[in-house]
Amino acid sequence: MSLNRTFLAAAVAAAILPATAAADVNLYGRLNLTAQYADLGGDTSDGETRIASHSSRIGVKGSHEIADGLEAIYQAEFGLNVTGGDVFSNRNQFIGLKGDFGMTTLGRRDTALKLSQGKVDQFNDFEGDLNALFRGDNRAAQQVSYATPTIANLFRAEVTYVAEADDKQGGDSGFSIAGMFGDANYKKQPFYAAVAYDSEVAGWDVMRITVGGKIAGIELGAMYNDQEKVNSTESFDGFLVSAAYSIGKTKLKAQFQDADGSNKFADSGSVYSVGAEYKLSQQMRLNGYYTGTSYDTEDNDSVFAVGVRYDF
């Protein structure tokens, strides 16, 4: 890690900590670590043990009222790689306004399509994450977004504009749009559905349809993803299905994902995962899972992992 980056991280920490004492600021974070045995390339002779960090993070966010019915919002979040390499990376970092009109943000933030996935991905942040095969999980560095207020506790929409100066845009601007129905947490309604589309975001056009629901305590989810590379014949479509069931503090879950391309590119294949999560407390949970892959053009891998996640 460079001296400049180390100095920057120290400066950020020094700025955040006094602020939390002086204002209504929420300092938060997550450490999500697993001990793993990874069978690389489908050959047990290539297996290795490792400690993996899964989207660990630290950040500060908050809001304050600037007029009746209007508030300023902000977030500055950094990824933490606690097991090797550069410690800090950029996550959502933006400022915005929120009120009866909805919400608008400026800066680095998840696109509308990425946000539309809800909670269907039962292995989010782990090796079985939907981005193992699907394009569209983008966090645009140069974006402006607008989200409508939730109408009748049922529907909301969001649109993201990505400027052409973004490093991943290749000199072209793009946009992401999504319409979302129901409740992704299955609390206000026992169902969730979303339709989303990316146009020239990070070099891809993506259409995504997501549905989910909770029936008799069982969470069921499904997703269809169609992705086409801009100015190329490269294209894929695929699906994901997931299920979860909670028994007391234990949540059992399973997921299968498959994608096929117009040619046999690296994105073609399938990923399957089974696992369990046990809540020790509101902040701490234990995880265990197995993820296997079956790619058309790459070696197949499998991972067995046990770990702990702590939110603060």
Domain assignment present for 9: no
What is the average pLDDT score of the chain? 91
pTM summary value: 0.89
Instruction: Give the pLDDT confidence of 40-57 residue by residue, as tens digits.
Output: 775 555 789 999 999 999
Range of the domain at 134: 26-311
Quick check: helix, strand or coil at residue 130? helix
- Supply the pLDDT for residue 34: 98
Residue 63 lies in a domain: yes
Sort 233 into a burial class: Cβ within 10 Å, 0-12 / 13-18 / 19+: exposed
Q: For the chain, what is the domain count?
A: 1
AA identity, residue 272: Y
Measure the CA–CA gap between 114 and 130, rounded to whole angstroms.
Answer: 11
Q: Alpha helix locations (H) across the chain?
A: 3-22, 112-115
Buried b / exposed e over 151-183, threshold 16 CB at 10 Å, is eeeeebbbbbbbeeebeebeeeebbbbbbbebb
215 domain residue, yes or no: yes
pLDDT of residue 84: 86
Q: How far apart are the first and last CA of the chain?
A: 26
Amino acid (1-letter code) at residue 180: M
Residue 231, classed as helix, strand or coil, is coil
Asked if residues 194 and 223 have their Cβ atoms less than 8 Å apart, the reply is no
What pLDDT shows up at residue 40? 75
Query: Residue 100 sits in a domain of what CATH number?
Result: 2.40.160.10
The C-alpha atoms of residue 35 and residue 49 are separated, in whole angstroms, by: 7
For residue 290, being part of any structural domain is answered with yes
Q: Is residue 130 a part of any domain in this protein?
A: yes
Evaluate whether residue 59 is within a structural domain.
yes
CB distance 179 to 155 below 8 Å: yes
Regions of the chain where pLDDT drops below 50: 1-3, 5-10, 13, 17, 19-22, 263-264
Examine residue 10 and state whether it is found in any structural domain, yes or no: no
What pLDDT does 19 receive?
Answer: 47
Burial class (CB in 10 A: 0-12, 13-18, 19+), 145: buried
The answer to whether 103 and 96 have CB atoms below 8 angstroms apart is yes
Pair of tokens at residue 136? 């569209």
Identify whether 5 is part of a domain: no
pLDDT digits (tens, 9 = 90+) for 252-271: 999 999 999 754 455 689 99
